Amino acid sequence: MVQSPIIPVVGELIRSHPGVISLGQGVVSYPPPRQAFDQIAEFLADPELHKYQAVYGVPRLLELIEAKLRDENGIDLKRADQRGRVVVTAGGNMAFVNALLAVADAGDEIILQTPYYFNHEMAITMANCRATLVPTDENYQLRPDLIASAITDRTRAVVTVSPNNPTGAVYSESSLREVNEICRARGVYHINDEAYEYFTYGGAKHFSPGSIGGSGEHTISLYSLSKAYGFASWRVGWMVFPEHLFKAVNKIQDTILICPPVVSQFAAAGAMRVGAGYCRAQVERLASVREKVMSELAALGDCVVVPPADGAFYFFLKLDTEMKPLALVERLIKDHGVAAIPGNAFGMENGCYLRVAYGALRPETVAEGVGRLARGIGIITGKR
């Protein structure tokens, strides 16, 4: 059975308890750059643009994406050993569904790392495929040895998400290279979700496996404007994938979407012309929010384990309690005025885990929200 999406469940609890500070949904607090909206006048000036446009995206956006991939990610679509295609999608989630439907049939297996991003697992179940769950290590880092031994004749793809939702872990270049090589050698696809590519802190560096020479035939890279440019409701992302999957992806997208909303693609082009600097300035601000969250959580001592999280805007806590995570979240909301997401939504069934998201917090709210969380956890676990 497909699990119910957890965000609306927690959202409903938050709405029925006014004043709750949400460390729940993975969104950013900032809007798109103004230049994104300037493009809308251009869109409106051409009545032809109200008609369906190309399945794979409008030329002005595709050109910007190709240049960005080359300059920032080291993915040169024109190089023989990286040759691939780009299709603009209605967000990163849709890019994942396109990839899944293009590479797998009912009954096939897709390898996810736990904790996983719940919409990936839900999509796999909806497609009548099977998610093979491979644990990460105690710091939520990849275990290439376990990934290799989980591959069977039915495996079609290995999915990695870096920087990671829900853990904030950033996978090293070497571990991503290792997984990519396992996929090449075993004849399965490597799907890498890079929605949080700009969100790294300290010395952590984002790496795109699509840049590896010779990876173009088996690597699918997924991107999103939702976080980077505050674009969540505009629904724009894209996928980079091997040429030989183009027909399949085209069929899938034509059936589900026909074409990505053109007004959103124009706005996206405006945002991407501003470029990564827009997001990087926000990440600098988020870095200090992250420091505050870390120091509050550290003060809780040994009732909560907080593995390193050098990316995205999440921490994934392990709590020393027998309580069920949803019951814990309910108590946090009702008694302590703060919300987080229960860890079982990310496939962590043994133990009590919580995902804490700080991307939407303003500095003035962060101290209060995380203070409430720390107090609440201390009281509920009986450690304070």
Bridge partners for 342 per DSSP: 354
In angstroms, what CA-CA distances link 121 with 202, 204, 295, 309? Answer: 30, 27, 32, 22
For the chain, state the CA radius of gyration.
21
Q: What angle do CA 127, 251, 248 make, to 5 degrees?
A: 75
**Interaction of residue 192 with ligand PLP, rule CB under 6 A:** no
Output 27 or 182, the one with its CB closest to ligand PLP: 27
Nearest residue to ligand PLP, using CB?
91
- Smallest separation, CB 195 to ligand PLP (Å): 4
Stretch that binds ligand PLP, among 32-40, 57-65, 76-84, 88-96 (CB under 6 A): 88-96
Total binding residues toward ligand PLP, as defined by CB under 6 A: 13
**Interaction of residue 219 with ligand PLP, rule CB under 6 A:** no
Output 155 or 192, the one with its CB closest to ligand PLP: 192
**Interaction of residue 210 with ligand PLP, rule CB under 6 A:** no
**Interaction of residue 226 with ligand PLP, rule CB under 6 A:** yes
Nearest to 64 by CA among 244, 225, 220: 225
Question: 3-state class of 175 per DSSP?
Answer: helix
Nearest to 85 by CA among 199, 238, 260, 226: 238
Kindly give the interhelix angle for 246-256 and 92-103, rounded to the nearest 10 degrees: 120
What phi and psi, each to the nearest 5 degrees, are found at residue 318?
-110, 125
Containing 67, the helix (H) or strand (E) segment is helix 59-68
Q: What angle do CA 214, 68, 197 make, to 5 degrees?
A: 80
Nearest to 303 by CA among 290, 322, 289: 322
Binding flags for ligand PLP, 114-143, as an x/- string (CB under 6 A): ---x--------------------------
Cα 134 from Cα 145, distance rounded (Å): 10
- Smallest separation, CB 226 to ligand PLP (Å): 3
Cα 119 from Cα 96, distance rounded (Å): 9
Among 24, 33, 92, 343, binds ligand PLP (CB under 6 A): 92
Stretch that binds ligand PLP, among 135-143, 224-232, 249-257, 302-310 (CB under 6 A): 224-232
Binding flags for ligand PLP, 24-43, as an x/- string (CB under 6 A): --x-----------------
**Interaction of residue 101 with ligand PLP, rule CB under 6 A:** no
**Interaction of residue 22 with ligand PLP, rule CB under 6 A:** no
- Smallest separation, CB 214 to ligand PLP (Å): 26
Output 195 or 283, the one with its CB closest to ligand PLP: 195
Q: Which residues bind ligand PLP (CB under 6 A)?
A: 26, 91-93, 117, 161, 165, 193, 195, 224, 226, 232, 237
